[in-house]
Amino acid sequence: VASVVEDVDFFAHAAAAGIKDHTTQPPNIIMILAEDMGWGDLPSYGHPYARTPNIDKLAADGTKFERFYVTGTTCNPSRTGLMTGRNPAEFPSYPADFGIPEGVPTVTRLLKDEAGYRTGHVGKWHLGPE
């Protein structure tokens, strides 16, 4: 639980650093998880010819992370670690097949329930059978 709370606190403070007056409205938090993307695959991280103007704008106007690791090299372990702050091997059942167990805090649940955010997801989920 503590690691997910720390993750939420970290994301909230990092996002707040990207705006001038965050006291009137909480900052927007956008997490982008891309598979098979290396450190230098985006112009904002030094790629010489790739063009990603919208991602570059997010990096320029927001908070760009330069020190990070994922908890696995494939999609489900990476998502499980990002969402829960836990090593995927700690779960008794594989989250790709059975989902994140009820009662396990996630970044999105904490942002929604504790901080009042509206949360959403677009794209591949791969955290359960649905």
Give the HSE-up count for residue 71: Cα atoms under 13 Å, Cβ half-sphere.
Answer: 15
22 is catalytic: no
Please check whether residue 109 is in contact with residue 4, taking contact to mean a CB–CB distance below 8 angstroms. no
Active-site residue (options: 22, 47, 121, 126): 126
Structure tokens at 35: 């598979």
75 is catalytic: yes
Alpha-carbon gap, residue 74 to 77, rounded angstroms: 6
Active-site residue (options: 13, 22, 47, 75): 75
CA 47 to chain centre: 22
Encode 3-12: b = buried (16+ Cβ within 10 Å), e = exposed.
Answer: ebeebbeebb
User: Coil, strand, or helix at residue 26?
Assistant: coil
Catalytic residue numbers, as ranges: 75, 126
